[in-house]
Structure 1
């Protein structure tokens, strides 16, 4: 592949991060899901929510189905930049790649369950719809830990990069480490129906979600800068042999 085409594909893959960010916000806004319902919401309240927001929820799922595939080029270009840190495919880049490939399932499966609940709510009892709603929120928030090793591997890569201008800035490395730590409380939503560790709680949902969106904004910016740096390094490598031939 031509070098200019390869770099262009890397840039497009980095821009996928912004597509994901916009898609996620649009989808969850359409579905009225940015603010989780209470884990103690009554079955009648859940049925009313599903009926009132049926079109929005199904639209949310459609947007996510169309958006989430952009996660794959975004994940791959991240690993390709980490590969530059390791000097080839290594433990960190492979951890990021494999966990990043699995991560979209954390959105697809819960949303499929919520879509099934909203698709024909009139044929299900309130108890069934409550169970489906609970499954959606428990999976969406509780399975966020799937991202922990992914973001930690990126963060650690920034710390072991000893070049004068690291591919991933140190501040971004710390942001990734902090995000990984903040995602851990999500695992405890299965034990709590109220308080900071419930699925609508401060520790399990609010703070991790806010940090995730900051990270989701920062990552494409960092990747675009990394691709630009890679382009400069490749150009310098081409210039050195040419200069050598000119002096020979």
Structure 2
């Protein structure tokens, strides 16, 4: 049973649907710009929680708990901002996946691997935010519990870089194999996305030490990782916006590669059929 709507209401919805803010291009622009918002929210979340610079891993349980007791509201705000950064991360990755499909003869497993790694990487935003929110929920608790949750937050935030490396390598692969005279992305962006993940690998061993550049507050495990990660999101988003701008308004043919497609004349293909 359809609802009867006045003509003015129908015209309003038609006007909204045909608005330039609702075009496929506009939607992709929103998704690409989400990478910038994700980066800024992630950075500002740490700033809000007074984690720039990070608290020290060698602090006693009492001193660690004191930080959460004195900055309870700031930590709670920071946790919310870090969680929201994950909200913007997924549309950004979906826009990358969509533009990767425009590359001729790109095997669909590359695009699917990039998108599935993005879905897994979302938890690198959400889970630490949940842990941080839990830590700040009862700051008056036993200091040793607060210290344990604090360690859990930093390790969960900095250690899981692997899914992002997979994303970068898939994106770089798509850029490299695009040999058209006017490729979607410059080859320098592929080199950039292949090099940046190696700045993150030092965080693999943050649970081995509480001092020095490899600790969770150190130059390698925190500063290099954080700056390169947030900076990469912004740079990729800018080039993604340019790629979207080059897409025809009416869309273009997507070239998929199907490994199960057998050539004509293959004995496994039944006569008169093209699989």
Cα distance in 2 for partners of 1:92, 1:205 equals 29
1:145-160 equivalences in 2 (<5 Å): 145-160=162-177
1:167 corresponds in structure 2 to 184
Aligned residue pairs, count: 234
CA drift of 1:150 comes to 1.0
Cα distance in 1 for partners of 2:36, 2:92 equals 10
Among 212, 215, 226, the alignment partner of 1:195 is: 212
1:216 corresponds in structure 2 to 233
1:14-33 equivalences in 2 (<5 Å): 14-33=32-51
Decide which moves more: 85-94 or 70-79: 85-94
Among 65, 68, 76, the alignment partner of 1:50 is: 68
| Structure 2 portions without partners, runs of 5+ | 1-16, 253-275
Cα distance in 2 for partners of 1:214, 1:233 equals 32
| Structure 1 portions without partners, runs of 5+ | 236-248
Q: How big is the alpha-carbon RMSD for the aligned residues of Structure 1 and Structure 2?
A: 2.3
Among 133, 139, 142, the alignment partner of 1:125 is: 142
CA drift of 1:192 comes to 2.1
Among 176, 198, 202, the alignment partner of 1:185 is: 202
CA drift of 1:139 comes to 1.0
CA contact under 8 A between 1:186 and 1:197: conserved in structure 2?
A: yes
The C-alpha deviation readout for 1:93-143, integer Å capped at 9, x for no partner, is 111101111212112112211211111111x21111111101101111111
Structure index of larger Rg: 2
Greater helix share, structure number: 1
CA contact under 8 A between 1:75 and 1:97: conserved in structure 2?
A: yes
Among 120, 123, 132, the alignment partner of 1:105 is: 123
Matched, 1:92 2:118: no
SS at 2:184 equivalent: coil
1:239 corresponds in structure 2 to none
Cα distance in 1 for partners of 2:46, 2:222 equals 14
CA contact under 8 A between 2:80 and 2:129: conserved in structure 1?
A: no
Among 30, 33, 37, the alignment partner of 1:12 is: 30
* TM-score computed with the length of structure 1 as normaliser: 0.86
CA drift of 1:202 comes to 2.0
* TM-score computed with the length of structure 2 as normaliser: 0.78
CA contact under 8 A between 1:142 and 1:189: conserved in structure 2?
A: yes
